[in-house]
Structure 1
């Protein structure tokens, strides 16, 4: 088989890249290790920057997003028993949209099937060959049979544990990582959200987040120890701890119910450089991870897709390699800014082991400065709604 672009990974970044390329007449085959149902069973955050919304529009998959998504003009920060609002629309003229990542992925799969574009599921033993040459190819096994795809380019959209990043030799890539000394215990419940906007909470007991998927599906998180397991937390214990971390008036409005999903996620910051090696390009979690505090994971992957998509269109349409030659440089410039925001916002709201009384006072002063200073709020809002591509 031959195609122009092989996309490894059938998650949202790989699917978005494939759909955008398809609409420009560039052929791409998507290889996915799992089944479609498995991919759609993953529960992920869904705060979309305007840049991602515009890419979904360009890909022709934004109808349901605009119909069912929740436009949020701001967010709430709770601390010291009170709460203040940061108005994105007033400060930047730009909102965000709450629309689940699962729904983004579903829309992209539906569009890909309707277009007749090829997605190959349940592939194993994927290997990228000759990525540093002008004739790369990819081999894989499916149903016990070995197969090969020749291509012009390979896009590695297969996540942190995928094979794409590992294909780049160790003497070429450099990795930067920070692990955080806590995790997020999250539950999904069929209950109405406690507030119309997200509430980020800093308390003496630790961080908490109140978010939503739709009008009757809520997502809540609390900071927990890395040694915790979901079996350590009954639903009742989770709700009791969440109430303790929220302002009293918010806790009183909280509607609780059985969890339909419960998980613990560790927090990590990770970047690999470069994001290109020959004809191989890394996108999304294959190249970088951010803590979920600033809702930058999917959105940073989308900015990677935007740079790579435009570079490939420029290459095929204009015979100009400038876009793909500068892909890694452009992507990393924005990635590190997103990493900085996620790292700072995590440090603002969480409790860290061994914080001194001085450290805690500085943390509270930092939150107070955000509450009281419009310039700081504007900087926060600009980062949260998404820096320009």
Structure 2
């Protein structure tokens, strides 16, 4: 079978691309690695052919890749990402859009689009990705997968092409809660935070989602005994997040992109053009606003777990993709600003489409949050 270039940039057949270097809880599992992580002997493409041509062959694995290999997993291949992970649709102007096996005709979600599709289609068991503004949680929701954005900094980012270091996290997707937890056993440090197990849900956050998504998430929250709380996002949060994200993205990539802007697809190029125009004063104001918002979010949450929609809609059709982005980011930016762990639990709408219920927990409670997510989802399985 020939690999789909929209899903895989490098996938040897027969594989794997990299054999395990040890044995452990991931024996026999295969990993689709987002093409932002260094894999020894390979170039890192970051979704952009010009970057791929200019980068050197990696001499060693990214930290997360090395840990998975040591635990018995093999690397099936390097899977596609949107350019520099700066989008949420899954579309790549150079390689195409990975299909969505669970919702045909709809987008796959990005920017961990290729790895997510690889798992949803049964070509890999684990998708190793990144989540800055929702890039694990969005494809998880759109494709009916489990996904986690860990506490910021919990998983080492060594060997990763960054986007916005204040928000970048190493995350992963699987097709089961049990495998999601096993990957966590390998990648996550021991919990340093306390999680009470009390779930809370906010009508204001539920109302940011389309009715079919709202209903599915509210049903899970109700079945799990979530208590209602008055929690509405501040209007300034998303703007501060997006401004700081953009400013950091230009700081990271601006020197290279200054001569390479014409190598970017239109949507990503537009974001970098706006990022280039952000002045130092605006960037510092956004950073101060994010710091303040982070403290407020953590204070509101305490040791509880917030249930909210992972995305504002089910997977849109391609022509609707950009319109859905802003509403979804109103939801995803809460964990991003807070630096908090967030697990996307797959749910199904009454129309039969995949969606995601997101559980956001206190900083450093990642392992407990994974266990709670599995417990909350048990009624869905029966």
TM-score calculated relative to the size of structure 2: 0.26
| TM-score normalised according to structure 1 size | 0.25
